[in-house]
Amino acid sequence: AQSVAQPEDQVNVAEGNPLTVKCTYSVSGNPYLFWYVQYPNRGLQFLLKYITGDNLVKGSYGFEAEFNKSQTSFHLKKPSALVSDSALYFCAAASNTGKLIFGQGTTLQVKP
Amino acid sequence: DTGVSQNPRHKITKRGQNVTFRCDPISEHNRLYWYRQTLGQGPEFLTYFQNEAQLEKSRLLSDRFSAERPKGSFSTLEIQRTEQGDSAMYLCASSLEFGSSGRRDTQYFGPGTRLTVL
């Protein structure tokens, strides 16, 4: 069965410091991987995706993610966190029919 | 893109009542997905359409749930005889066909409909 895991329920980081939100996946075939962000009582906003090509993917709002096939990971990163980055982050993998399989989410708390 | 819209944004109903939600996808998108998200969890897939054809349904979608997408445009999700366990955020997403390159297969989500069953 395909699955996505986000091992940390919450990540705390000081403003200006680098941040990493972890994600590992288990999918068959070539993975299509996504990161979404969710603000309170809102839908999900697309940040970035990996389909093929460069292992480092750049996305919206200064976020990037590193695809590592050997470790089956797709960690979300940002060099310098902002207080406004505080939100709930979801990693997802697309099945071979296109439906998304989500991790359980990681709350990012950026403190001033 | 005008974005994916969902109505209503909030729905409070009594157990046993029927409810219907509507999703209007981005106009040129031929794929439309429904997900359910409960508190503290990631969204879970319910069903998806390609144009007007419903191609996959999750086992989460019990007989009380039905979804339609007439004419391949907007979609409705109906829950009959609601139960307290149906309380959740119902999310709709749309995309162009899956498996294409670039932005075509990214799913864009609406704001969701929050259902509370009393």
A47: which residues sit within 8 A by CB, 6+ positions away? A34, A35, A36, A37, A59, A60, A61, A63, A76, A89
Q: Which two three-digit tokens encode residue B49?
A: 């359409």
A-contacting residues in B 56-75 (Cβ below 8 Å): 56
| Interchain contact, B108 vs A46, CB within 8 Å | yes
Give yes or no for residue B19 having a pLDDT over 80: yes
In angstroms, the separation between the Cα of residue A1 and the nearest Cα of chain B is: 14
Give the closest residue to B91 by CA, choosing from A46, A49, A13.
Answer: A46
pLDDT at A48: 95
The one-letter code for the residue type at B36 is R
Residues of chain B found within 8 Å of residue A58, distances taken between Cβ atoms: none
pLDDT at B99: 61
What values do phi and psi take at B103, rounded to 5? -85, -5
| Interchain contact, B41 vs A105, CB within 8 Å | yes
- The answer to whether B108 contacts chain A (CB < 8 Å) is yes
Residues of chain A found within 8 Å of residue B107, distances taken between Cβ atoms: 34, 46, 100
SS3 B99: coil
Query: B25 with B75: CB under 8 angstroms?
Result: yes
Q: Which two three-digit tokens encode residue B98?
A: 């899956």
* Reported confidence tier of residue A28, pLDDT bands at 50, 70, 90: confident
pLDDT at A106: 98
The angle formed by the CA atoms of residues B93, A43 and A41, to the nearest 5 degrees, is: 150
Q: For A35, name the nearest residue in chain B, comparing CA atoms only.
A: B106
Strands (E), chain A: 3-5, 10-14, 19-21, 24-26, 32-38, 44-50, 56-58, 64-68, 73-78, 87-94, 100-102, 106-111
- The answer to whether B45 contacts chain A (CB < 8 Å) is yes
SS3 B26: coil
pLDDT at B8: 97
